[in-house]
Structure formats: structure tokens, C-alpha cells
């Protein structure tokens, strides 16, 4: 044993230990012998009776890979699930555990035969790299001993080195996880967050680095490198914000999207200037890590903290943390980021997380698709991807590690799948699908200026849903008759400050200008629930979907609401203005909200300003209660629009954001259709115009069912208009209605199979 590695003072000597580990790594020996030597020198240095490494195996179990002090016969055999026992808990939370009484610590479980019965104290740290858990490093002692902070820090430093070396293959022995360099096809399941299929080549958003030497040769050199990189990155961000040094096209881009881009960068600047970051980075370098390894250590720890928070705003900051770490690593390594101009024409972007601003920066022109390891269908990147019509699949764990830049990949946003290095037959099948879609798109173009009239002459209004400035060209391209739902909150989801009234006014003016003489229905801010606005944080709620949201917030805190109404009234001077309120649950809420519009209209006039030519005020019907509201509600509303996404979730008590239940109940279920029929009847009785603006409206069979129930206006994503129009023009609506009523009188839960069969008989293409 090298005496230099022995801890004589009872305190850990991380620099001595790291130096010793570097020698171990430099020696020519097999991977498992190296790892064994590392646990031995660590145990000695930390005066621990046990030091063990568990690594995640391909079956996602943690397997004992090396140990000093436990039964050597258990190596390669003893295993436990992630989340199981103290070791499993460290792997699942990404947080260290430090206890002087392991057997009585929640979650403790003895692994039979491993020989750890007599050890009381336990300190474990995760071995993580770039958001992936690779394993766990543990030290144990017989006595009841609480490890000091410096010991925790030392163990984390060693865990960082092990993580780097495991990923570079120096320690893994080919055991853990998906390894890059595997050349065969790989299919991963995720969640389809923006529809569509894309074929192309891998572009890695994050630099893929394998550190040859995570241990510092010279502390002062590393400290200077770190500071220089930090200064350079901060300077870059400041310049990006001030617009200096950018091409005129980039500046014009930012002008085109007032606010949304700049505010994202401002939030990022706050993260970059956070003093805590630099302090933690300096500590890691002082402990003996190279600057790059220090960045990865601090990034891993920040991620572990943010991943555990339930606050959606803080979770969105994950992408800022990753972005900052990536910029630092690039700076340290001298690697340039992929710029939108240099992307291949068929780029499929792979990232762990992606902020909405970053996605906008890449733009639509070359990006064919996006695949994310994290993120959700309701996340901000997904909102932007849908607006840009870029297919997006999220939740693809392990994809980045498995992929190399430029490799062929297919992503399928319709079913939530990524196919890396697909084999010839799969590629051919997808190519065929894309060709077919391109032919259909050409056909839908020819239908663009044709009306949506059924075979028996019933006209249907097809409108589009929108919410970002980037959506506006869709009005002309899709052939929509107008915007049936403008989700005003989307613009604010990608900013960090409450938008000022003037900015809102400009934005709404641009929307009205883009629509020309076509109608636009503005929905007032629908926040809360799954849409947490960064600048309006409420208290954490057990059931946000049923909580303080949408019109409830607007009526309780009318300041923001009134500012929005003022902006809408100003923007629509001399024009027609249609406004609707989200999540109305009873007549009283609608009445109070409508009165506020009248107050603002009168104030506007009293200030000598030109008012809108007319103001139409409607309600979104998203709660089953409103179906049965008093007649006075239906008389007072100028129009009603069914928010089918929320109405479905509340009808079946099934969270629309939870993948386990979101698709469990069919919008063509008889129960839901009977509820909708009641809405049609109430609106007909009161003479109130009615439309439907949930996702279901954009699917041909659902659209036919809605028309057969009596809806004459549907609002959908622009890409749905072509397929719905083609199907509707082929249908005899009278016949479809008779068939639907018969199905609703039958015992079937869902009318889907019956209605689809009838449409097929009529030759309707669904
Ligand atoms: C709906 O609920 O159907 C709707 C259109 O609104 P959102 O999806 O924005 O909640
Ligand atoms: Mg809704």
C-alpha cells in the first residue's frame, strides 16, 4: 500500500487520494482490477472499514462491482433495484445519505450474504454524469460515527472521478447501461409531445465529452481556466442580451418575437451570475478535480436538487442549469456549439432538456425533429414545438448516450418513439409514410380554398387554435376561417416577467392584423393547473387542475386580468373583438367577468379613445356543471366554446397530463357525447352560437361525430384542417346523424367502431 494514500490525521485527504487514483488509472490493468484498487485506496484514505462501488447494469439493477471489507464472493452477484435499500435510494434521488445508525434509517435493507450486518455508520454518494445515474459509492464503519461535511465532499469528488472514468470505459468493463458505439438499431419508447414523423441525422445539443483526465494536474492552472471560462460565458450572455455582435437576421428575429426571447435570456443571466455556482465550482477544483470535472459535479448536484422539486417553474430552470454547464464545458474544451446555419438539412436535435428560447433559436428551417431525454408533453418546449410544427418526442432515457452525431435516426411524435440507426426495412416503411403524407399535404393544399360542406350541403366552420406569434402564418396556410381559440397565456409561459400592457396591446394588434377580416377569439389568461406562469406563482396545491386557476385567479386578483382586458380593448379599436373566459363553472363567474369588460370599455371611452366596433363575450364550457347552468347563462353568453380537453378530463375524472390515464377514455365514448348533446340542445334553445375547440376537433372521425351532434364550428390545430375537411366533404351528415343517434341508444360504451364502419361505407377517408 502506498503510504501517501494513508490518512494519518483522521480527516480525508482528497488531493492525496485523487493523486493516488490517477496512478491507479494510469497503470495498465483490467477494468475490474482498477476499480478494486480504487475502493481499497479510498477505504484507507477515509479510515473506513468498507468501501464499495455499485454500478447500474443493463437490466437497470445496481450490482456490487468492487468492495473492500464486504464479502468478495458477492461481487457481480449482490444486486438491488433502484429505489431499494439505502444504496437504491441514493441512486433514485441523486442525493447522498449520511447516517450513524444505518439499520434504523428508513429504507435500510440487508442484502443476504454480503456481510454488512455489523456496520452501523453509512455514507453513500451517487455516481452520476450528465443527468444519468451510473451507480453508487459507499463507505461504512462499525462504530456509530457521523461523517463530517469534508468527508461527504471527499466521497462526492471520488464519485465524480468514477463517473467520468466509467463513462469513458476505463472502469465499466462493458457492464453498465447503454454504451455508445453499439452499432445496431435501437428503439426507445417515450412520449409523443408534438405530432409528426421526422427522419434525419443526429445533432447533439450538448457537447459529448469524454474526459481523459478528470483529476487536476495543477490546482492553480485549473482555477485560472475555470475563471476564464466563467468570465467568457457571462460576457457571451451579456452580449446576447444587448444584441451586440449578432447578425442583423438574428436581431430581426428577436424583434419579431417581442419579449419571449429576451426574457428567457434574462432568466438565464441570473443563473449565470449566481455566486453560489462559482463557489461550488471553486470548491470542487480546490478538492483536486480538473475544471471540466468540477463543472460536471456541480451540474449533477444542481440537477439532483431541481429534479426533486415539485415546483414546475423551478423544474423548468433545469434547462438553464444544463445550458450554463454546456456553455462552460464548450468554453473549457474549445468546442463550438452547433449553430442553426451549420445544421444539416435533415437535423434531428437530441438534448436532455431544451428551453423554449433555445428551440426558437434553432428555428424551423433546418430542424426536422427533436428528441428529448426529459421534459413533458405539457412543457414549454413542447408548446413551442407544436407551434413550429416540429415533431417532438420526450422521455427518451438513454438516447443521448447511445447516439453519435450524424447517425441516422427516425422520431415518431405520433406514437412517441425514437429509432436510432434503423435498419433498411424500417427506414423504407417510414420513408413510404412520409411520401404519403407529402402527397396528402399537396392534396390538402388544393382543398385550402374550398368550403367545408358535407355531401348533403351542411356547412361547417373550420377555425384554428393559436397562441404564439409563430402561429400566425398558419391562418393563411391552413385555410382556416379564423382563429377559434387564441391561447393568450402561451406567450407568457415563455417569459419571466408579467408583460406590460403596451406590449400586450402590440401583440394583440399583430394578431388581429395577421387575421385581417377573419375573426379571432381571444381566450383570457388560462393559468394555474398545468400552466404555471413564471411571474405568478401561487401556493403549491394538491390538485392544481381542480385548484386556483384560470377565471378563479382572474376574479380574485383582477389586476392582471383587467390589464389584459384593457390591452384587448385598445388593440381592437374600431374592429370587432371576441373574448372568452376559461374554466367558467357557474353563471355568476361569467356574469362578473363580463361586467369587468364593460367597466373597462367605459373607462376606455371616457378617456376619449376609440372603442372596438363590437365586443362579443363568450364562455369556455370546460366543467360539467356549466352544462346544467341556469338558462340566464346561455342567454347572457354571446357564444359558448366547448374546451373538450378539460371537459373530457373532468367528465371522466382522468388527469389529461398523466400518461397513465390521459388516453384511457375515448372522446367518442357515449357518455361524453350525451353530455355534448345536452350542450347543443341548451345552446339551440337559447339561440347561442356554439363551437368546439379541444384537440378532438382536429381528428376526422371525432369532427364528424361533433358535426352530427349539431356543432357547426370547430377550432383545431392548423394541421388538422386539411384531413377534417377532406373527410367532412365526403360525408352525408344526415345519414351520419341517424347512425350516431342509433349508436348512442345502444349498449356500446364507445361509438368509435360503429361510426368508423359507417364512414367507411360512405367512402370517407379517416
Ligand atoms: C380545452 O381544454 O379543450 C382547451 C381548448 O383549452 P386548453 O387545452 O388550453 O386547456
Ligand atoms: Mg382548457
- pLDDT per position as a tens digit, 1-55: 343 334 444 566 777 888 888 888 888 888 889 899 999 999 999 999 999 999 9
How many Å apart are CA 476 and CA 482, to the nearest integer? 9
Catalytic choice (261, 380, 401, 604): 380
Render pLDDT for 284-329 as a digit per residue (tens, 0 to 9).
999 899 999 999 999 888 888 887 776 666 766 777 788 788 888 8
Closest CA to 563 of 493, 478, 501: 501
Please state the rounded mean pLDDT for residues 153-164: 91
How many Å apart are CA 569 and CA 123, to the nearest integer? 62
Ligand 1 atom nearest residue 649's Cα = 2
Q: What is the pLDDT of residue 342?
A: 82
Alpha-helical regions (H) of 243-346? 248-256, 260-272, 275-286, 291-308, 312-316, 318-333
185: left (phi over 0), alpha (psi -120 to 50) or beta: beta
Largest CA distance in the chain: 93
Ligand 1 pocket, residue 481 CB under 6 Å = no
Strand partners, 51: 68, 139
- Range of 110-119, 519-528, 683-692 with top mean pLDDT: 683-692
Choose one of 582, 656, 675, 679 to mutate for the ligand 1 pocket test, by most ligand atoms within 8 angstroms of C-beta.
582
Closest CA to 599 of 644, 566, 550: 566
Closest Cα to atom 4, ligand 1: which residue?
A: 643
693 is annotated as an active-site residue: yes
Closest Cα to atom 6, ligand 1: which residue?
A: 643
Please state the rounded mean pLDDT for residues 390-397: 92
Ligand 1 pocket, residue 526 CB under 6 Å = yes
Please state the rounded mean pLDDT for residues 114-128: 94
Ligand 1 atom nearest residue 641's Cα = 5
Q: What is the pLDDT of residue 700?
A: 97
Q: How many whole angstroms from its chain centre is CA 512?
A: 30
Decide the pairing of beta strands 347-351 and 197-204: parallel
Choose one of 530, 551, 646 to mutate for the ligand 1 pocket test, by most ligand atoms within 8 angstroms of C-beta.
646
How many residues comprise the chain? Answer: 766
Q: Could you tell me the distance, in angstroms and rounded to a whole number, from the CA of residue 520 to the centre of ligand 1?
A: 16
For residue 108, give the H/E element and its range. none
For residue 72, give the H/E element and its range. none
Please state the rounded mean pLDDT for residues 479-488: 95
Please state the rounded mean pLDDT for residues 343-369: 84
* All residues at 6 or more sequence positions from 213 whose CB lies less than 8 Å from its CB, including other chains: 22, 290
Ligand 1 pocket, residue 612 CB under 6 Å = no
Cell numbers standing for residue 522? 381571444
**Any idea which of 103-107, 260-264, 403-407, 486-490 has the lowest mean pLDDT?**
260-264
> No. of H helices and E strands in the chain?
29, 22
Contact 422, 442 (CB under 8 A): no
Q: What is the pLDDT of residue 248?
A: 34
Q: Could you tell me the distance, in angstroms and rounded to a whole number, from the CA of residue 629 to the centre of ligand 1?
A: 20
Please state the rounded mean pLDDT for residues 545-553: 93
Ligand 1 pocket, residue 489 CB under 6 Å = no
How many Å apart are CA 54 and CA 79, to the nearest integer? 8
Q: Where are the beta strands (DSSP E) in 444-601?
A: 461-466, 483-487, 520-523, 576-584
Q: Could you tell me the distance, in angstroms and rounded to a whole number, from the CA of residue 523 to the centre of ligand 2?
A: 10
Ligand 1 pocket, residue 644 CB under 6 Å = yes
Residue 265 pLDDT level (bands cut at 50, 70, 90): low
Ligand 1 pocket, residue 222 CB under 6 Å = no
Q: Could you tell me the distance, in angstroms and rounded to a whole number, from the CA of residue 643 to the centre of ligand 2?
A: 5
Ligand 1 pocket, residue 643 CB under 6 Å = yes
Ligand 1 pocket, residue 37 CB under 6 Å = no
Buried b (16+ CB within 10 A) or exposed e, 373-402: bbbbbebbbbbbbbbbbbbbbbbbbebbbb
Please state the rounded mean pLDDT for residues 672-682: 98
* All residues at 6 or more sequence positions from 112 whose CB lies less than 8 Å from its CB, including other chains: none
Q: What is the pLDDT of residue 461?
A: 98
First-to-last alpha carbon distance for the chain, in angstroms, is 74
Ligand 1 pocket, residue 135 CB under 6 Å = no
Q: Could you tell me the distance, in angstroms and rounded to a whole number, from the CA of residue 705 to the centre of ligand 1?
A: 19
Strand partners, 186: 420
| Closest ligand to the CA of 641 | 1
Closest CA to 585 of 536, 538, 634, 552: 552
How many Å apart are CA 32 and CA 37, to the nearest integer? 9
Residue 383 pLDDT level (bands cut at 50, 70, 90): confident
* Angle at CA of residue 428, ends 423 and 429, nearest 5°: 105
Adjacency order of strands within the sheet including 50-56:
79-81, 61-68, 50-56, 132-141, 121-129, 97-99
**Any idea which of 60-64, 280-284, 415-419, 658-662 has the lowest mean pLDDT?**
658-662
**Any idea which of 164-168, 394-398, 704-708, 753-757 has the lowest mean pLDDT?**
164-168
Choose one of 622, 626, 702, 715 to mutate for the ligand 1 pocket test, by most ligand atoms within 8 angstroms of C-beta.
622
How many Å apart are CA 600 and CA 595, to the nearest integer? 9
How many Å apart are CA 475 and CA 703, to the nearest integer? 19
559 burial (CB, 10 Å; 0-12 / 13-18 / 19+) is exposed
* All residues at 6 or more sequence positions from 641 whose CB lies less than 8 Å from its CB, including other chains: 484, 485, 521, 580, 618, 619, 620, 621, 690, 691, 692, 693, 715
Closest Cα to atom 9, ligand 1: which residue?
A: 487
Q: Could you tell me the distance, in angstroms and rounded to a whole number, from the CA of residue 104 to the centre of ligand 1?
A: 49
Ligand 1 pocket, residue 622 CB under 6 Å = yes
How many Å apart are CA 288 and CA 12, to the nearest integer? 13
Ligand 1 pocket, residue 645 CB under 6 Å = yes
Closest CA to 373 of 134, 532, 493, 205: 205
Query: With pLDDT > 90 as the criterion, what percentage of the chain qualifies?
Result: 57
Ligand 1 pocket, residue 419 CB under 6 Å = no
Global pTM value: 0.70
Choose one of 382, 485, 655, 691 to mutate for the ligand 1 pocket test, by most ligand atoms within 8 angstroms of C-beta.
485
DSSP string, 50-84: EEEEEEE-TTSEEEEEEEESS-GGGTTT-EEETTS
Q: Could you tell me the distance, in angstroms and rounded to a whole number, from the CA of residue 642 to the centre of ligand 2?
A: 9
Please state the rounded mean pLDDT for residues 530-545: 74
Confidence check: pLDDT of 260 > 50: no
Closest Cα to atom 8, ligand 1: which residue?
A: 645
Q: What is the pLDDT of residue 580?
A: 98
Q: What is the pLDDT of residue 537?
A: 65
State the sign of the Cα–Cα–Cα–Cα dihedral 158, 163, 167, 171: positive
Q: How many whole angstroms from its chain centre is CA 587?
A: 35
How many Å apart are CA 413 and CA 194, to the nearest integer? 6
Q: Could you tell me the distance, in angstroms and rounded to a whole number, from the CA of residue 650 to the centre of ligand 1?
A: 12
For residue 500, give the H/E element and its range. none
Q: What is the pLDDT of residue 626?
A: 98
Contact 35, 65 (CB under 8 A): yes
Closest CA to 32 of 87, 60, 61, 72: 72
695 burial (CB, 10 Å; 0-12 / 13-18 / 19+) is middle
Catalytic choice (651, 683, 693, 759): 693
How many Å apart are CA 209 and CA 226, to the nearest integer? 17
Q: What is the pLDDT of residue 325?
A: 87
Q: Which residue has the higher pLDDT, 173 or 532?
A: 532
Ligand 1 pocket, residue 693 CB under 6 Å = yes
Q: Which residue has the higher pLDDT, 75 or 305?
A: 75
Q: Would you give the DSSP letter of residue 468?
A: S
Please state the rounded mean pLDDT for residues 188-193: 89
Amino acid at each position: 500500500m502506498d503510504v501517501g494514500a494513508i490518512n494519518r490525521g483522521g480527516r480525508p485527504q482528497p488531493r492525496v487520494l485523487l493523486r493516488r487514483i490517477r496512478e491507479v488509472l494510469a497503470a495498465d490493468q483490467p477494468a475490474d482490477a482498477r476499480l478494486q484498487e480504487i475502493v481499497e485506496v479510498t477505504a484507507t484514505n477515509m479510515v473506513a472499514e468498507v468501501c464499495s462501488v455499485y454500478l447500474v447494469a443493463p437490466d437497470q439493477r445496481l450490482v456490487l462491482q468492487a468492495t473492500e471489507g464486504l464479502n468478495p464472493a458477492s461481487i457481480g452477484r449482490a444486486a438491488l433495484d433502484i429505489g431499494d435499500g439505502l444504496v437504491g435510494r441514493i441512486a433514485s434521488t441523486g442525493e447522498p445519505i449520511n447516517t450513524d445508525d444505518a439499520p434504523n434509517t428508513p429504507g435500510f435493507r440487508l442484502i443476504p450474504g454480503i456481510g454488512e450486518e455489523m456496520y452501523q455508520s453509512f455514507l453513500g454518494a451517487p455516481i452520476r454524469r450528465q443527468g444519468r445515474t451510473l451507480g453508487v459509492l459507499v463507505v461504512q464503519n462499525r462504530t456509530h460515527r457521523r461523517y463530517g461535511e469534508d468527508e461527504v465532499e471527499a466521497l462526492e469528488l471520488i464519485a465524480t472521478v468514477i463517473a467520468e472514468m466509467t463513462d469513458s470505459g476505463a472502469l465499466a468493463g462493458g457492464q453498465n447501461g447503454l454504451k455508445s458505439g453499439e452499432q445496431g438499431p435501437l428503439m426507445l419508447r417515450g412520449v409523443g409531445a408534438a405530432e409528426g414523423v421526422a427522419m434525419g441525422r443526429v445533432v447533439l445539443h450538448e457537447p459529448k465529452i469524454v474526459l481523459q483526465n478528470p483529476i487536476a494536474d495543477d490546482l492553480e492552472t485549473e482555477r485560472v481556466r475555470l475563471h476564464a471560462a466563467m468570465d467568457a460565458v457571462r460576457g457571451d450572455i451579456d452580449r446576447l442580451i444587448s444584441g451586440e455582435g449578432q447578425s442583423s437576421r438574428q436581431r430581426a428575429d428577436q424583434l419579431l418575437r417581442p419579449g419571449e426571447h429576451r426574457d428567457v435570456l434574462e432568466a438565464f443571466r441570473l443563473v449565470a451570475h449566481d455566486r453560489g455556482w462559482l463557489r461550488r465550482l471553486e470548491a470542487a477544483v480546490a478538492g483536486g478535480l480538473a475544471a471540466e470535472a468540477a463543472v460536471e459535479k456541480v451540474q449533477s448536484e444542481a440537477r439532483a436538487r431541481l429534479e426533486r422539486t415539485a415546483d414546475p417553474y423551478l423544474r423548468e430552470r433545469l434547462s438553464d442549469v444544463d445550458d450554463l454547464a454546456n456553455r462552460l464545458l464548450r468554453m473549457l474544451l474549445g468546442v463550438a456549439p452547433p449553430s442553426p446555419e451549420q445544421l444539416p438539412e435533415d437535423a434531428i436535435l437530441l438534448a436532455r432538456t431544451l428551453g423554449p428560447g433555445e428551440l426558437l433559436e434553432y428555428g424551423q428551417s433546418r430542424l426536422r425533429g427533436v428528441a428529448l431525454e426529459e421534459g413533458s408533453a405539457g412543457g414549454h418546449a413542447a408548446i413551442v414545438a407544436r407551434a413550429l410544427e416540429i415533431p417532438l418526442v420526450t422521455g427518451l432515457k438513454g438516447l443521448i448516450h447511445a447516439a453519435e452525431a450524424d447517425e441516422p435516426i427516425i422520431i415518431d411524435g405520433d406514437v412517441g418513439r425514437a429509432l436510432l440507426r434503423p435498419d433498411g426495412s424500417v427506414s423504407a416503411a417510414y420513408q413510404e409514410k412520409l411520401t404519403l403524407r407529402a402527397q396528402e399535404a399537396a392534396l390538402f393544399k388544393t382543398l385550402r380554398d374550398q368550403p367545408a360542406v358535407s355531401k348533403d350541403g351542411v356547412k361547417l366552420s373550420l377555425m384554428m387554435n393559436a397562441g404564439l406569434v409563430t402561429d400566425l402564418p398558419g391562418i393563411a396556410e391552413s385555410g382556416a376561417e379564423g382563429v377559434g381559440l387564441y391561447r393568450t397565456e402561451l406567450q407568457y409561459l415563455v417569459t419571466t416577467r408579467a408583460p406590460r400592457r403596451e406590449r400586450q396591446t402590440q401583440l394583440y394588434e399583430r394578431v388581429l392584423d395577421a387575421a385581417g377580416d377573419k375573426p379571432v377569439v381571444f381566450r383570457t389568461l388560462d393559468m394555474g393547473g398545468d400552466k404555471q406562469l413564471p411571474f405568478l406563482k401561487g401556493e403549491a396545491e394538491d390538485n392544481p387542475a381542480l385548484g386556483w386557476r384560470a377565471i378563479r385567479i382572474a376574479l380574485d386578483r383582477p389586476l392582471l386580468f383587467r390589464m389584459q382586458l384593457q390591452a384587448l380593448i385598445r388593440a381592437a379599436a374600431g374592429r370587432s373583438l371576441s373574448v372568452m373566459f376559461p374554466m367558467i363553472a357557474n353563471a355568476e363567474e361569467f356574469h362578473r367577468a363580463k361586467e369587468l369588460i364593460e367597466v373597462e370599455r367605459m373607462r376606455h371611452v371616457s378617456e376619449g379613445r376609440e372603442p372596438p366596433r363590437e365586443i362579443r363575450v363568450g364562455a369556455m364550457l370546460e366543467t360539467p356543471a356549466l352544462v346544467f347552468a341556469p338558462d340566464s347563462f346561455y342567454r347572457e353568453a354571446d357564444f359558448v366554446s366547448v374546451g373538450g380537453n378539460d371537459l373530457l378530463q373532468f367528465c371522466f375524472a382522468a388527469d389529461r397530463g398523466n400518461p397513465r390515464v390521459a388516453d384511457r377514455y375515448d372522446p367518442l365514448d357515449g357518455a361524453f357525447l350525451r353530455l355534448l348533446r345536452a350542450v347543443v340542445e341548451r345552446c339551440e334553445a337559447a339561440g347561442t352560437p356554439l363551437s368546439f375547440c379541444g384537440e378532438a376537433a382536429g381528428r376526422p372521425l371525432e369532427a364528424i361525430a361533433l358535426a352530427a351532434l349539431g356543432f357547426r364550428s370547430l377550432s383545431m390545430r392548423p394541421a388538422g384542417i386539411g384531413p377534417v375537411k377532406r373527410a367532412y366533404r365526403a360525408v352525408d351528415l344526415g345519414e351520419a346523424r341517424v347512425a350516431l343517434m342509433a349508436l348512442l341508444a345502444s349498449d356500446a360504451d364507445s361509438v368509435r367502431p360503429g361510426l368508423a364502419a359507417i364512414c367507411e361505407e360512405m367512402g370517407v377517408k379517416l
